[in-house]
Structure 1
Amino acid sequence: MLRYTAQRLLFAVPVIFGVLLIGFALLNLVPSDPATARAGPTASAAVITQIRSEMGLDRPLWEQFLRYVGSIMQGDLGTSLVNNMSVAEELSRSFLATLELIALCLVWAVPLAILLGVAAAVSRGGFLDRLIISGAVAGISLPVFLIGMVLLWIFGFQLQWLPFTGRGGPLWTLDGFRHAVLPSLCLGLIFVGPVARITRTSMLEVLGADHIRTARAKGLEERLIVGRHALRNAMIPVTTLIGLQIGYLMGGAIVTETIFSWPGVGRLAVGAIVANDLPVAQGAIIALALGFIAINIIVDLLYAVLDPRIQAR
């Protein structure tokens, strides 16, 4: 298992380098000048030129990139051009808020999605199966911003049951939990559909296998067959999709955090790009990419636990 883990970590190194390269290139293609953003709109051309030299922006792009990678390897993500704060400090607060939102989403969305998928597979072709599949297709088809606006309008404006702007505090406090409910619902509704569908498909394949027919022939109860024998084998592709969907949640969190004014890393990235705050934008891209890579490594390890044959490949 340790060797398998080391291989996964080793394979992540070129991916991280590629993310750094692509992120650096894309942000440098944006028609903006970080030196002007730091100097302010009233600064003279001489001052802007001096700041450009101090920031190293007058050097070739390849040299800027190498300096940037060297700074990251030393743990220095730079300083914000807008508020002169450490990028690492801003990211630590914002990333924690995003993790809280995703964690609350997964607490209810993963069990619900698996339960719906199993129920649809057991009642294949029936009314419940068709109802669940229809709901899953609707959840996949609807865009995140539409779901967020509907939740905000119904539960925030009309019923006024829940707050819908900002973060009320840590998730384990009552006020913090109430502020996180609507954003987590918005994210979870786009998560449940795909996971429920793949759970149903995987369960149908397993329920038609020879060992399941043998278990039924021995007279085992259906709930034991479904819960103990079928679900574990069906969870292998489901686990893979859950990992991918968690990565997509981090992308969906950008829209959700903007709608609900949630102070997460996605909203931080949008604000930094709008304000031409290049160091913060680059740091946010790195944080999101590292989160996605970490999730995929964890999924690979869970995959190996569910199917030990993978470790031998």
Structure 2
Amino acid sequence: MMKTIANTAYLELAANVTDALDSFLQALPSEGGDLLVETMRYACFPAGKLVRPTLFAASVALCGRDPREVLNVAVGLEVGHTASLIHDDIIDRDEIRRGRASVWHRYGTDTAILAGDALFFALFRAVTDSHSDPYATVEAVKAIAEVGHELCLGQACESEATRTADLTWKTYRRVIYLKSASYIRLCTELGAVLAGATPVQRAQLRTFGENLGMAFQMQDDVLAYVGTLDTAGKDPLSDVRSCRASLPVVIANEQGTDGERELLQRYFSSGAVTSTEQADLVALLGSEPVIKQGKALAAEHLDRAIQSLSIFEDSDYLHVLRDITSALEDRQW
């Protein structure tokens, strides 16, 4: 759980995004698809901390454009992220998301797939309605399409790694970059694009976003083994049951004893372990050395994120990006 951010500019941006998201959901046309609209609203509300759309809005302002002009794009990024979570939960068969029934578990797989698709397409519509420079609009659409492909590729890579019990660092970093960091990178880079930023500003905000995203996912991986349903927002054993090679798994596979590595490989290749061995596995993945290294690796990416902001002049919106990073550094475990 992230600590509360008291930055006035952050609170203003988040409030604007919340209002715009509410307006978006209220204005959804049903035209006979009442269940679909209900499902989309259920998926999006109550909203989380709106970190991604706020990152976008702050990046827009940092590069010189009034973020109120592109609030619809901020909303599009939030609902696009929600769409990816809907589809992830279907693939992983997770029944809980944000402390309540996941969308597919409540409304069924077919409706959940449709809701996810509709929400993701809303992001494209938002960009084309943003009244931006035509070149910037094309660049934005290209960036979204690139990330959409990366999200799918990341899921495919993770599925293959799960099937083959690939617990290596190379695969892990590739998967989380494609599945998680790429979308947060999109939020900051898209802000630069639609604000007409310089190539250097765009590159630095891209670097900021991808490092923030890597850290965020690493922290989530650790939270799954040390958190509760309230702090992690999903069943703490979900990653174990789905044989997902998350950060603690990769660390334990690298640092564990021969017996521990044998247990990991046997479980993640076949699931053929006793209930006692599964308990031992969970204890290993939540052990102090594993968790300590996981936190340290996340902190390295947060440091890189902060360093990438050094080219920007001091402003309220620069402090928003720094405060979000600091909130992650102080994340409650």
- When normalised by structure 2's length, the TM-score is 0.29
- When normalised by structure 1's length, the TM-score is 0.30
The higher-RCO structure (CA 8 Å, 6+ apart) is 1
Q: Determine which structure has more spread, i.e. the larger CA radius of gyration.
A: 1
